[in-house]
Structure 1
Amino acid sequence: MKLLRQSAVLFLLLMLLASCKDEVLPKPKAQLRLEYPTPEYKEINSDCPYIFEISTNSKIRINNKCWANLDYPDLKASVNMTYRPVEGNLKELLIEAEKLTFNHTIKADGISSIPYSNEEKRVYGAVFEVTGNAASPIQFHVTDSTDNFITGAVYFNVQPNYDSIKPAINYLRQDIMRMIESMQWKNK
C-alpha cells in the first residue's frame, strides 16, 4: 500500500513538472478558408418558355407551372424561382417582386441592386443583395417586358449569419448572373 501511495505521489509530481512551460501565448486568429469548385454550366431547356444555364454543382427541379428550384447541397442553399406570364400586369409584377425584396429591411443592414439589360435577347431585370442577417440574401427578377416574368430568391438551410455565409453568397451571385446573362425566351 505504501509503495502504491509513493508511486501515485511520484506520478502527480512528474505530471506537474511536465505541464509547466516558460510562457503561455494566445493562439493566433484562424482564417476560415472556404474553397468552392470552379463552376461549369449546362443549358436547361424544358417545356417552359425559357432557357438558361445553371451550374453543374446544382440540381434543378421544375414543376408544371414552370417554377424551378435549384438545390446546392454542398452550400446548403437553394434558389427558388417563380415564373409568371405577363398579361398586361408587368407593373404589378415588378411592384410585387420588389416588395418581396424590401420586406427584408427589418433584418437587413442594406439592400443594393444591380440592374441588367440585354436589348438583343430582350432580357431585363435586377439582382438585389440584402446585407445583414436576412432570410434571403439575394433576390432577382427578369422579364422580356411583354410575355414572361421570373422572380427568384436564394435561401440557406442554416441560421442566417451574413458574415459566415458571405463566401457562399458571392458564389451564388456569380451563378445567378450567369443564369440571367444566358436567359432566352422561347416565344420570341
Structure 2
Amino acid sequence: MKRLALPILSLLMLSCGNDPLPKPKGYLRLEYPNANYKKAIVPLPFSFEKNELANPISAVKSTPNSKGVDIKYPALKATIYLTYKEVNNGNLDSLLRDAQNLTQKHTIKADEISSNLYENKTQNVYGMIYEIGGDAASQSQFYVTDSINHFLSGSLYFYAKPNYDSIYPAAEYLKKDIRHIMESVHWKE
C-alpha cells in the first residue's frame, strides 16, 4: 500500500503546479448602428433631420407659450425633448437665460459641464451645446436661435437612474444626434 501511495502522491503534487488566476475584468461592449438621418415632418416653424433609430414623431405638445416634440429612442431608453418658442418683444435675453439656467441646475450632480458655440450663418442658426459629465439627470442640452423670430431648446434624458458609467456609450451616441439636429435646423418663414 505504501508503494502505491508514494507514486500517487508524487503525481498529485506535480499536477497542481499552476496557481489559479482570477478572471480579467469584462467590459460591456455596446455597439449602435450607424446613424441614418431623415427629415422629420413636424407642423412647427422649423425642420430638422432625426436619426431613423428614433421612433417616428407622433405628436406635437403645445402650451400657450411653446410647442415641442419628443424624439424617443426606445432601444437606448432615452428621449430628446425639443421645445420651440417664438422670439418677440425683446424676450431673447429671457429665453437664453432660461436655457442656461436649466443647464446650471445640473451642477449639483455633474462632474463637469462643457459648452461649445454653434454658428451657421448661411442658415441663420446660432446656439450652444452643453455636454454634462457625471451622474446628472441630463447628459446634453442645447439651444439654437435666429435671434429674431425663433428659439429652439433641447435636452437629453434617459429612463433610468443616472449612472454615468452605464449610460456613457448611449449618451455619446445621442450627443452626435443632437449635434446633427442643431446642424440640420432650417427655419420656416
User: C-alpha deviations, 1:61-87, integer Å up to 9, x for none?
Assistant: 441533010000110000011111001
Could you say what secondary structure the match of 1:67 adopts? strand
Structure 1: gaps spanning 5 or more residues: 1-16
Q: CA separation of 1:64/1:165 partners in 2, compared to 1, >3 Å: closer, same or farther?
A: closer
User: C-alpha deviations, 1:33-59, integer Å up to 9, x for none?
Assistant: 100011101101322100000000002
1:139 partnered with 2:136: no
1:80 partnered with 2:75: no
Q: Which residue of 2 aligns with 1:27?
A: 23
| TM-score (normalizing by structure 1) | 0.85
Q: Which residue of 1 aligns with 2:6?
A: none
Q: How does 1:39-58 map to 2 (within 5 A)?
A: 39-58=35-54
- Percent sequence identity is 47
State how many pairs are aligned.
Answer: 169
Indicate the larger mover: 42-51 or 75-84.
Answer: 42-51
Taking the aligned partners of 1:150 and 1:132, their CA distance within structure 2 comes to 25
User: C-alpha deviations, 1:66-114, integer Å up to 9, x for none?
Assistant: 3010000110000011111001200100000000000001101110011
Q: Which residue of 1 aligns with 2:160?
A: 158
Taking the aligned partners of 2:93 and 2:59, their CA distance within structure 1 comes to 26
User: C-alpha deviations, 1:135-178, integer Å up to 9, x for none?
Assistant: 00101101111111111110001110111111111100110111
Counterpart contact for 1:143–1:150, Cα < 8 Å: yes
Q: Which residue of 2 aligns with 1:70?
A: 71
Q: CA separation of 1:163/1:148 partners in 2, compared to 1, >3 Å: closer, same or farther?
A: same
Taking the aligned partners of 1:180 and 1:104, their CA distance within structure 2 comes to 21
The amino acid that maps onto 1:142 is V
Counterpart contact for 1:79–1:155, Cα < 8 Å: yes
The amino acid that maps onto 2:33 is P
Counterpart contact for 1:61–1:70, Cα < 8 Å: no
Q: How does 1:91-130 map to 2 (within 5 A)?
A: 91-130=93-132
The amino acid that maps onto 1:167 is P
Taking the aligned partners of 1:123 and 1:68, their CA distance within structure 2 comes to 19
Taking the aligned partners of 2:58 and 2:144, their CA distance within structure 1 comes to 19
Could you say what secondary structure the match of 2:138 adopts? coil
Q: How does 1:177-188 map to 2 (within 5 A)?
A: 177-187=179-189
